[in-house]
Amino acid sequence: LERPRDKKNRCGRAGGGGHSKMSPGGLKRVMAPVSSQEEDEEGALVHASPSGKRRKPSLPEAPEDPPADGSVVREGVPTLAAEPASSRPSGTWRAGFIRRVHVENFMRHQNFTVDFGPNVTFISGKNGSGKSATLQALQCCLGVRARKMGRGTSLGGFVRRGCHSALVVVTLCNEGEGKEAYKPEVFGDRITVERRIDTKGSGSVVIRDSTGKKVGSTMWELNRILDHLNLMVGNPAVVTTQDVARTFLSNDTNDASRYKLFLAATLLDQVKGNLSGTSLATEKMGDMLQSKQKDVDKTFAEYKRAKKQLEHAKSIEQHVQLESHCENVLAWKDVYEIGDKLDVLNHKLEVKAPAALNKCGEKLDAAAKEREGLELNRERRVNAVEELTGRLEDLRQTVRTTKLSLKELTQREAKHDKDLELLREELGERKQERQEMEIALREMAESSDASGAQALRREREEKIAEAQGAEKAAEDELGRAKEAFEAELAVFNEMKGELHDRKQQVQAVKMDIRDMEEDIERLSGRGRRSGASWAQNPNLFGQGYDRLLHEVEARVSRGEFRHPPVGPIGMHLELADAHWGLGVQAAIGNLLGTFVLHDEKDLQVFRQCARRAWGGGRQAPNATVSSFDRKLVRVPQNRLPPQRYATVQSVLRCNHPTHSHVVWNTLIDQGRVEATVLVDDFEQGKDAIFRGNARPASKAYDVTGMVFEVKGSGTQVSRQTLRDNQKTVRLSVAGQDDEGPKRQLQSRLKNAALQLEAHVAEELRLDACMKEKDEELAGREARIAELQDECLTLRDATSRTLEMVREALQEAGEGMEGMEAQISDLDVEVARLEGKIREVEEMAEQIRGEVDNCQSLIESKQAEQAKMTDESEAMVSNAQSLDKEMEATSNQVEKWKEKEAYIKKQMKVLEQQKAEYKPRYDQKREAAELVCPESEVQAALGVVSRIMDQELDLRSEEDMKDVEKLLKKMRSSIQQMVKECGSLEELELAFFKKEKEFDNEQKIFTRIKVPYDMIRESLEHRWMKFESMRRNLQKITQNTFNMNMGKRGHAGQLKFSHKEETLTISVRMNQGDGKAGRKVKDMKSLSGGERSLSTLAFILALGTECESPFRAADEFDVFMDAVNRKVSLRTLLNFAVDNPKQQMILLTPQDLSEVEEIREEIKGHQDYHEKFIKLIRMPR
């Protein structure tokens, strides 16, 4: 018995009467045994929880000084009493025993718990102490209605005043042998039922197992538990409430009430009610059968009259049958004729046309695929030709520029050669003139003094040498300036080439950045979905695949596909290891965008989806047909490479929810994934394929996409299969999200951005340096021009000096001085000419070197140009042949499209013809079926053939004309006979109509009569069983009642009147000293105690056949004196010790002091134990 755990839950507090709700945890605390205890400040017992916090006990212990006659524990400020937990009875608990009843805010109890013993539990207390509320709570929790409990018309009346709801918790024992317990594997050894009711009478039920876990919450489940445990809490013999006890123990009862109690206690009232209802329904069925029998008899009489009339017209039956056969044959003639035409049309539509259309579609797909391949090849060739043409044009421009330079150099060389020849001729002339003058001078010197001329010569030579020195210095400086200019020009050209290369690098990095940004954007749009890989964006496997999938899903929802297509395959594949991403993509990249269809019909629907999604302007996506019913291909072990090598199949995972075998079969059939090896590097690829260590595999891919394979001729091939823009892995990694690849791409993008920034900075630097170098070259060109002008000026100055010397010599007069001056002048002129010749020769030599360089450059460029021209012509020729092939392929595509359109047009024409013939055929066939079923046509044709003595054919026009002639003849004969004996058709129609009507009514009558007879027979048998069972129960109850009375020396008899539904009790009370008292038939003449004792014996006798695991009685000893009350107690305890498998709960307002005395009397019984009886006293 439990104290209230929280003062805040008490009703009647200020602020309203709230109710306390019991949680599952609270229920576990109520059921938990007492462990460790300590006292709080108020003296109440509390449990020590594992966390060290103090909490109220679920099962409080007894007070320190309990009374000697029982344990008392008070609820709140004195309330409830119970035995201490340490002294609980340890009897045998059985399935269906009541272990505990706990109530909150129920009737007068705020928080009340009572634990029962396994055998006998007495609860005593004054009137109004709430002991009867225990049985009311038990019945309420286990589903008894309020009217049966006698406490009002609604369960809301049980809620404590001032509260909103009440809680009742009943704990049932679920222990037992064999099948006694109810689902012990689910509930354990206890079943707890919680019933919460509110003031409106509504409520809820919760069923929990031994651990407090919720198992059920329906009355249906509760009724199953009660039926299994045989708990009849609504039976007055099992639970004898206060009202029932007082009624039967007082003078208010009568024989009819006792008989009703007998029927209710033995459940015979339910059986009788069911049988009575069935009897009433059976009587109604009998009345209906009699009415139906009259209808059947009337119809049978009419049937016999029609049959008799028909027998008179049997003489013309043969003619009518022959007429019918002819009509049947002629009725089906048109049907067969139109049917043959329809068969031809159906054969064309269902066999020939689809086959031709499929063939046309295959040819069209093959041609379109070939055209697409040719277009790709042509596009590659065109790009290569354009690239080669650009290079060739650059080369030609170089050759042209070089030729122009060569022409200019040649012209300059010819000019220099001509100038050199002229200078040499002039030099020869000057030398000859000087030689002649020297000869003349020597002759003059022999005859005169030459001292003055020598002085003049020295002066002249000094001036000339000074002028020539200045001119030579200027020419040297001009040469150095030109050399510096050439060096700077070479540096400028080198920087120009470097700038061009840097710009190309910038463009390449920008393209890489754009590709990486597109990959990141695609990754950002990705996400997982059910049954598919991380590539939620289907456009990764083909442009426009999102629209295609949307159209496919719409067709699937309309049921146009036999099986929903699987694809693209790449959406259902994942990588087990990202290490093999590029290798797998190189191996099966062309299959990732493929769709798999179940059959040809689904393929046609899929192509319609593609045309609808893409408008017919593009080629249909890759699609293959593979039956979805085909099981997963089992690859033989001899076709697999050694296990030390990874294969494409071993590193892939398929996540399709229903058709993963379809994906694997496609990859095995078309991609040979089971025999394609993956290697780490070039050496492993050579070892696996070229050296044959991975046989039977003939192809391998490394982690960069390079393929290793051996061709049919034994040629070993290793080449890169992936272009730079194909090195983005489109497959996800199993167990990995998009963030890893995205982070890698973002890191690469960051590095590319830094690289781009460095390239741009270098480009800007080179551009600035080139501008500076250009300005420097312009300055040097200006300096060279200045030096050239200075050289010309110095040459002019030298010429003027020579002229001045010449004039001075002329002023000096004729003779030797003049001749010497002329010789000196000639020497200067010769020196000048020789310098000029040397200068021209050096320039000519330089020009010849440049000419040789230009010629060699032109020759090499022309050779390269010729080679590139040949290559370009070959590419152009190849492109032209590809154009021709594309034109031929396009013609084939157009041809097959036209043929496909023609076939579809013809199919529409055939459909129209079929649509025209089908209604006619159905109409003719329906009319023919009304005349004769098709199964009887051949029999009718055989009969007519025998009559006409010839073989007839329904499809022969001449034979059908002969049949029409025979039909006319038969009709003429029948008309003649009808005039004589009446119409056979009318008679047959009337006869068949009556026959059918009679058969229908007979069948209906039989369908009703057969179950009626079975029900009636079964009902009679069950009434007999009921009477037998009632007699047996009557005998058992009478014998048990007499035995219960005889145990106390009394005698009793029960007299049943089933006809009047009364039960009379007659007793003979013992007068003591072995003397029998008088026989009393009227219970009212007995004293209150004797009448209560007799009624108690009667109630015990009634409950013998209930087989309920427990019985309860409230105020069983009312109206008894002390002697009879003691006798009643002894009777009950002896009954309890004789029935140890039945729990008894007894409530009384009287004192229980006699129990100890009676306990001593029954101690010798074999089933008695020390805790057989449990006493509970309610607080005052």
> Minimum mean pLDDT among 536-540, 692-696, 999-1003: which range?
536-540
> How far is residue 307's CA from residue 964's CA, in Å, rounded to a whole number?
32
The pLDDT assigned to 1076 comes to 56
H helix or E strand, kind and range, residue 362: helix 353-445
**Is 33 or 600 the better-scoring residue by pLDDT?**
600
More confident site: 792 or 535: 792
Q: H-helix or E-strand containing 1053?
A: strand 1051-1057
Q: What is the spatial distance between Cα 947 and Cα 238, in angstroms, rounded to a whole number?
A: 89
Pairing of strands 109-115, 98-106: antiparallel
- Which of 204-208, 868-872, 1100-1104 has the weakest average pLDDT? 1100-1104
CA distance 1103 to 162: 39
Over residues 235-247, the mean pLDDT reads 75
* CA-based end-to-end distance of the chain: 16
The band of 102, judged by pLDDT with boundaries at 50, 70 and 90, is very high
Helical H runs in 932-956?
A: 937-948
**Who contacts 1127 (Cβ-Cβ below 8 Å, separation ≥6)?**
1048, 1093
**Cβ-contact 882, 378 below 8 angstroms:** yes
Residue 159 amino acid letter: V
Q: What is the mean pLDDT of residues 445-459?
A: 57
SS3 sequence of 307-348: HHHHHHCHHHHHHHHHHHHHHHHHHHHHHHHHHHHHHHHHHH
How far, CA to CA in Å, does 656 sit from each of 182, 337, 567?
A: 44, 52, 10
Specify the pLDDT at position 1048. 66
Other beta carbons within 10 angstroms of residue 1064's beta carbon come to 16
Starting at the earlier edge strand, list the strands of the sheet with 652-654.
652-654, 573-575, 732-733
Confidence of residue 103 (pLDDT cuts 50, 70, 90): very high
Distance CA 787, CA 769 (A): 26
Distances (CA, A) of 255 to 243, 249, 263, 1063, 1064: 18, 13, 12, 5, 5
**Residue 15, phi-psi category: left (phi > 0), alpha (psi -120 to 50), beta (remainder):** left
Element (H, E) at 423: helix 353-445
Q: Backbone dihedral region of 144: left (phi > 0), alpha (psi from -120 to 50 degrees) or beta? A: beta
Q: Which residue has the higher pLDDT, 1178 or 20?
A: 1178
Tens digits of per-residue pLDDT, 1105-1121?
667 888 888 877 766 77
The pLDDT score that the predictor gives to residue 37 is 32
Handedness of CA 146, 147, 148, 150 (dihedral sign): positive
CA angle 153-154-157, nearest 5°? 110
Helix (H, G, I), strand (E, B) or coil at 962: helix
For residue 173, give the amino acid letter. Answer: C
CA angle, corner 391, sides to 385 and 397, nearest 5?
Answer: 130
Q: Which of 134-138, 444-448, 1039-1043, 1163-1167 has the highest mean pLDDT?
A: 134-138
Name the residue with higher pLDDT: 34 or 726. Answer: 726
Q: What 3-state DSSP class applies to 149?
A: helix
What pLDDT is recorded for position 1075?
56
Residue 381 identity: R
- Burial label for 35, CB within 10 Å (0-12, 13-18, 19+), is exposed
Going by pLDDT thresholds of 50, 70 and 90, the confidence category of residue 33 is very low
Confidence of residue 813 (pLDDT cuts 50, 70, 90): very low
Q: Render pLDDT for 43-94 as a digit per residue (tens, 0 to 9).
A: 332 333 333 333 333 333 333 333 333 333 334 333 333 334 333 344 688 8
DSSP assignment string, 508-537 = HHHHHHHHHHHHHHHHHT----TTS-S---
- What pLDDT, on the 0 to 100 scale, is given for residue 739? 64
Does residue 539 surpass a pLDDT of 70? no
Looking at residue 740, its pLDDT comes to 62
In this prediction, residue 172 has a pLDDT band, given cuts at 50, 70 and 90, of very high
- Residues in the chain, how many? 1180
Higher pLDDT, 295 or 721: 295
pTM equals: 0.38
Distance CA 218, CA 203 (A): 11
Of 646, 668, 532, the residue nearest 588 (C-alpha): 668
